[in-house]
Amino acid sequence: MRLSVTGCGYLGAVHAAAMASIGHEVVGIDVDVRKIDALSRGDAPFFEPELPELLRAGVDGGTLRFSTDAAEARGAAVHFIAVGTPQRKDGHAADMTYIDAAVDALLPHLQPGDIVAGKSTVPVGTAARLAELIAPTGAVLVWNPEFLREGWAVVDTISPDRLVVGVPAGPEGERAADVLREVYRPAVERETPFLVSDYATAELVKISANAFLATKISFINAMAEIAEVTGADVTQLADAIGHDARIGRRFLSAGIGFGGGCLPKDIRAFAARAEELGRGESVAFLREVDAINLRRRERAVTLTREALGGDVVGKRVAVLGAAFKPHSDDIRDSPALDVAVRLKGLGADVVVTDPAAVENARRAHPQLAYADARDDALRGAEAVVVVTEWDEYRRELDPAHASSLATGRVVVDGRNCLDADAWRAAGWDYRGLGRP
Ligand code: UDX
């Protein structure tokens, strides 16, 4: 099928490449000339495993191209909208500027029978509004939320655990759902659940899934706070409650909390939208989820300060990690960088390293010092603070090796990802969040 994808960021670039890889003819459209130039050469503009291979295969094979011209979308059977919905500068609501601009640009090129499929995470009610806007063209709107995780985006797009499509009532909606089934045929044939709903449900599935995940993380981080005043160990607690299949161990890793381009802004936008709808109280707990999450960053800073004798001024601190999570170079709302910035603010001599995100971090926080190699960051450090659980730190950093480089013996495990016993045995003062 011929498909267009408007918006070639984390979501759209992966979607375009993945759709080409399963046999579609795809054009990706974005207003950012540099991004389009890179993608047209088959280069990924950000770090995402497997994406470079897919891009190159699609571009070289002639099934994937990129353009800044919205007119190139003309003739596609399905037009995906995958632009960002960041947090507004003036509050917690989602900024809909890019969605509105994408639809405006597409409108003159839509033909009767075309399908416009929204993928972006939007405030509930957006799809109904956009459906009215495009109705005069004879195109049909569906809402098809995306659940991909950065670092696993290609796998999640090609083999999702479920597909959700919000459609209008009646035969028009049924036909649109069938077209989407055809788009995702390989996954549908593997019996991936394909759930058809109304617009509002589809929009809410996405936002409530993210709200649930954020709540799960803040729940275990709240338990970490209780563990800290009782001498309990939150990692053992998570293992034990996680054995209950109703709870499950995933997303129960306590530490400096969630960040990235989705969970933080999505829970805030959800709370803001609920208030607009007169139902603020229904999700008032999300403000607590947000507050717990932000407190944990400060806790990592406090632990470091305490371990260094109450004062970090002028002390060299190696911060291992900058990305908001491993397998990503994304530093948007990164708890890791927030910890680094706070330590620097207290006067510490901070050196940040990360296997993928140093370049992005340097651009966003030029006031921090950076090391491209992990060992350069460790050299001469009085404290080591692990804030992103890359394998390079979690598995591959031997405490004895760290001892040969660092001058101090303080290690703060902001992700509870290190082997505490091994570090203690090597003579380190190990401190984890929510652990004795
Ligand atoms: C998330 C959702 O998982 C995905 O379904 C949605 O489409 C977009 O938002 P992503 O932002 O890529 O994906 O990251 P995710 O893997 O969910 O992690 C989010 C944050 O939570 C990271 O900062 C991570 O370090 C943190 N986290 C995750 C924890 O602190 N503890 C956990 O147990 C799990």
Task: Tell me the CA distances in angstroms from 252 to 150, 207, 239, 332, one per residue in order.
Answer: 18, 19, 8, 22
- Do 257 and 158 share a structural domain? no
Rounded (10°) CA dihedral 413, 303, 406, 361? 70
Q: Give the nearest ligand 1 atom to 146 CA.
A: 7
Q: Residue whose CA is closest, atom 33 of ligand 1?
A: 251
Quick count: other Cβ atoms within 10 Å of Cβ 417?
Answer: 21
Which residues does the chain have with pLDDT short of 50?
none
Q: Give the nearest ligand 1 atom to 209 CA.
A: 5
* Dist. CA 43–CA 356, nearest whole Å: 16
Q: Is the CB of 238 under 6 A from ligand 1?
A: no
Q: Which of 141, 172, 196 is the last residue of a domain?
A: 196
- Do 159 and 227 share a structural domain? no
Counted residue by residue, the chain has a size of: 436
* Dist. CA 23–CA 34, nearest whole Å: 26
Residue 149 CA to ligand 1 centre (angstroms): 7
Q: Residue whose CA is closest, atom 21 of ligand 1?
A: 258
- Do 323 and 222 share a structural domain? yes
Q: Is the CB of 219 under 6 A from ligand 1?
A: no
DSSP classification of residue 136: G
* Cα torsion angle, 96, 97, 99, 100, sign: positive
Q: Give the nearest ligand 1 atom to 251 CA.
A: 33
Quick count: other Cβ atoms within 10 Å of Cβ 332?
Answer: 19
Residue 263 CA to ligand 1 centre (angstroms): 7
For residue 164, the surrounding DSSP H or E stretch is strand 163-166
Complex ipTM > 0.95: yes
What's the Rg (C-alpha) of the chain?
23
Q: Residue whose CA is closest, atom 34 of ligand 1?
A: 251
Q: Following DSSP, what letter does each residue of 276-338 receive, concatenated? A: HTT-GGGGTHHHHHHHHHHHHHHHHHHHHHHHTTS--TT-EEEEE--SSSSS----TT-HHHH
- Do 184 and 215 share a structural domain? no
Query: CB within 8 A of 275, min separation 6: which ones?
Result: none
Task: Tell me the CA distances in angstroms from 80 to 24, 41, 95, 145, one per residue in order.
Answer: 13, 22, 19, 11
Q: Following DSSP, what letter does each residue of 68-98 receive, concatenated? A: S-GGGGTT-SEEEE----PBPTTSSSB--HH
Q: Is the CB of 263 under 6 A from ligand 1?
A: yes
Q: Which of 196, 213, 237 is the last residue of a domain?
A: 196
Residue 83: per-residue pLDDT: 98
Buried b (16+ CB within 10 A) or exposed e, 276-306: eeeeeeebeebeebbebbebbbebbbebbbe
Q: Is the CB of 184 under 6 A from ligand 1?
A: no
Q: Residue whose CA is closest, atom 23 of ligand 1?
A: 258
- Do 94 and 230 share a structural domain? no
- Do 274 and 374 share a structural domain? yes
Residue 325 CA to ligand 1 centre (angstroms): 8
- Do 190 and 209 share a structural domain? no
Query: Which amino acid makes up residue 11?
Result: L
Quick count: other Cβ atoms within 10 Å of Cβ 65?
Answer: 18
Provide the annotated active-site residues.
262
Residue 215 CA to ligand 1 centre (angstroms): 11
Closest CA to 371 of 384, 157, 36: 384
Furthest CA-CA distance within the chain: 71
Q: Which of 147, 174, 196 is the last residue of a domain?
A: 196
Q: Residue whose CA is closest, atom 7 of ligand 1?
A: 147
pLDDT tens profile 183-234: 999 999 999 999 999 999 999 999 999 999 999 999 999 999 999 999 999 9
pLDDT tens profile 377-393: 999 999 999 999 999 99
Q: Give how many domains the chain has, as a whole number.
A: 2
Residue 256 CA to ligand 1 centre (angstroms): 12
* Residue position matching structure tokens 């950000």: 46
Q: Is the CB of 11 under 6 A from ligand 1?
A: no
* Dist. CA 285–CA 362, nearest whole Å: 35
Q: Is the CB of 326 under 6 A from ligand 1?
A: no
pTM: 0.96
* Dist. CA 87–CA 268, nearest whole Å: 8
For residue 386, the surrounding DSSP H or E stretch is strand 383-386
Query: CB within 8 A of 344, min separation 6: which ones?
Result: 350, 367, 368
* Residue position matching structure tokens 């399905």: 78
Buried b (16+ CB within 10 A) or exposed e, 178-202: ebbbebbeebeeeeeebebbbbeeb
Residue 397 near residue 377 (C-beta atoms within 8 A): no
Q: What percent of the chain has pLDDT over 90?
A: 100
Residue 210 CA to ligand 1 centre (angstroms): 9
CATH number of 96's domain: 3.40.50.720
Q: Is the CB of 285 under 6 A from ligand 1?
A: no
Q: Please choose from 149, 207, 239, 299 the residue to mutate so as to test ligand 1's pocket, defined by most ligand atoms within 8 A of CB.
A: 149
Q: Give the nearest ligand 1 atom to 263 CA.
A: 9
Q: Please choose from 239, 263, 327, 390 the residue to mutate so as to test ligand 1's pocket, defined by most ligand atoms within 8 A of CB.
A: 263
Residue 68: per-residue pLDDT: 98
- Do 35 and 184 share a structural domain? yes
* Dist. CA 181–CA 194, nearest whole Å: 8
The three-point CA angle 220-389-426 to 5° equals: 100
Q: Give the nearest ligand 1 atom to 147 CA.
A: 7
Tokens representing 45 are 């503009």
Query: CB within 8 A of 209, min separation 6: which ones?
Result: 147
Residues forming beta bridges with residue 365, ordered by sequence position: none
* Residue position matching structure tokens 């929204």: 118
Residue 318: per-residue pLDDT: 98
Q: Give the nearest ligand 1 atom to 148 CA.
A: 7
Q: Is the CB of 194 under 6 A from ligand 1?
A: no
Q: Please choose from 258, 330, 338 the residue to mutate so as to test ligand 1's pocket, defined by most ligand atoms within 8 A of CB.
A: 258
* Dist. CA 227–CA 114, nearest whole Å: 55
Residue 146 CA to ligand 1 centre (angstroms): 14
Residue 269: per-residue pLDDT: 97
Q: Is the CB of 338 under 6 A from ligand 1?
A: no
- Do 269 and 150 share a structural domain? no
Residue 293 CA to ligand 1 centre (angstroms): 13
* Residue position matching structure tokens 């992700």: 415
* Dist. CA 293–CA 313, nearest whole Å: 26
- Do 168 and 31 share a structural domain? yes
- Do 221 and 88 share a structural domain? no
What is the domain range of residue 99? 2-196
- Do 232 and 85 share a structural domain? no
